[in-house]
Amino acid sequence: MTNNYELYKVFYWAAKTGSLTQAAKALYLTQPSVSHAIKQLEDSFGLTLFYRNSKGVALTQEGSILYSYIEKSQILISIAEEKMAALKNLDSGELRLGGSDSLFKHYLLPFLEEFHQKHPGIKLHLNHGTTPETISFLKEGRIDVGVVRMPIVDEQIEVLKGIQLQDCFVAGNLYAELKGEVLTMKELLEYPIILFSRNSRVRMAITELFQSYGFEIRPEIEVGSVDLLIEFARKGLGISYVTREFVTRELEEGSLFEIRLDVKLPPSQVGFMMMRNMPLSNAARKFMELVH
C-alpha cells in the first residue's frame, strides 16, 4: 500500500485520458516517469490496474474500482484548490469582527462599507458585545478581530492601536442654563446622570476618575446603548456621558451641548485585538490593512 499522492495523481490522469502520453503532458512529466509511477502503484497493491489496447491504456476491473474512489478525491481536491484561490483573491470567505454597537456604527461603518464595496464576495459577521464578551469571542475562535477600548492586558492577545476618542458630558436644552458654565464634579453630581451599563470600559473609566477625586458617580439612569444615551439627553432626562466623536451632529445642530468640567477628562484609545501568534484569515488581514 502507498500514501504517495503523486502516484494516485498519475493513475487518475492515465485513467481519465486513457493514454500514458496524454497523462504525461497533463502532469508535465515524461512518459517513462508515468509508466514507472503506475508500476509502483501496481506493485504496492499487488494488482494490475491497466491493460494496453489499440488506443492506449484501459482500466482493469480492479483499476476501475480504484478509479471510482480516486476520482472523487481528485474532484474534492480541485474544489479545495479553487476555494483556496477564491479565499486568496477575496472572492469568498468571511470577515468576523467583535465589538460594541457604538464602535461599529460610529467608527467602523465607513471601513466596513469600503471593504464590502471592494470585496462583495466576503460575508461580514459582526458579533456585538462588551469588552469582556469580545475578549471571550476572540479566545473561543468566534471572531478574527475584536474592536474595543483599551487598555487590554492579556498575554494571549495582541493589540494594535486605533483612533483616540474623547468622552464628555452632554445635555439637552432643558439644561440650557449650564451652557458656557464650568462645573465642579460636586456641582455636576447634583444633576441626574445617565451612564452606560456597568460592565462597559467607558463606565469603568469615568467611575475610576471620580473616585480618584473622592466622589462617587451614581447614575439615575443606566442604558445599554449609545443611541439611548444620546436620545435621553436630548429629551432632558439627564446629563449623559458619551463619546464626543459620536455626537458631532447633535452638537453642531444644537440639540445637545457639552457640559464643561473644571477637571480634564482623559481620552480613551481604541484597540484592535487579535490572538497572539495566530495568523489572520486573508479577509481579516486585508481589513486590518484598510483600518490601520
Give the pLDDT score at 62: 94
The H or E element containing residue 5 is helix 5-17
d(CA 36, CA 266): 74
Give the pLDDT score at 129: 87
Which of 4, 3, 41 lies closest to 15, judged by CA? 41
Direct distance between the N- and C-terminal alpha carbons of the chain, in angstroms, rounded to an integer: 52
d(CA 189, CA 206): 13
Per-residue pLDDT of the chain (292 residues; tens, 9 = 90+): 556 889 999 999 999 999 999 999 999 999 999 999 999 999 999 999 999 998 899 999 999 999 999 998 888 888 788 777 777 778 888 899 999 888 999 899 999 999 999 999 999 999 998 888 999 999 998 999 999 999 888 999 999 999 999 999 999 999 999 999 999 999 999 999 999 887 778 888 899 999 999 999 999 999 988 899 999 999 999 999 999 999 999 999 999 999 999 999 989 999 999 999 888 888 998 999 999 8
How many CB atoms lie under 10 A from the CB of residue 166?
11
Which of 181, 191, 200, 184 lies closest to 218, judged by CA? 191
Please state the domain extents for the chain: 5-88, 94-292
Residue burial 19-47, b: 16+ Cβ < 10 Å; e: rest: bbebbbebbebeeeebbebbeebbeeeee
- The CB-side HSE value for 22 (13 A sphere, CA atoms) comes to 11
- Whole-angstrom CA distances from 144 to 7, 21, 87, 106 are 38, 48, 15, 20
d(CA 99, CA 110): 15
Do 283 and 94 form a contact (C-beta atoms < 8 A)?
A: yes
d(CA 196, CA 207): 11
CATH code assigned to 94-292? 3.40.190.290
Give the pLDDT score at 200: 79
d(CA 188, CA 228): 20
φ/ψ of 240, rounded to 5, equals: -100, 150
Sequence-distant (≥ 6) Cβ neighbours of residue 225 within 8 angstroms: 101, 102
The H or E element containing residue 31 is helix 31-45
Q: Which residues pair with 257 in a beta bridge?
A: 171
Do 5-88 and 94-292 show the same overall fold?
A: no
Q: In the CATH scheme, what architecture does the domain 5-88 have?
A: Orthogonal Bundle (1.10)
φ/ψ of 275, rounded to 5, equals: -70, 130
d(CA 66, CA 54): 23
Classify residue 251 by burial, with Cβ atoms within 10 Å: 0-12, 13-18, 19+: middle
Give the pLDDT score at 3: 61
Do 233 and 170 form a contact (C-beta atoms < 8 A)?
A: yes
Give the pLDDT score at 7: 93
Cell of 256: 445637545
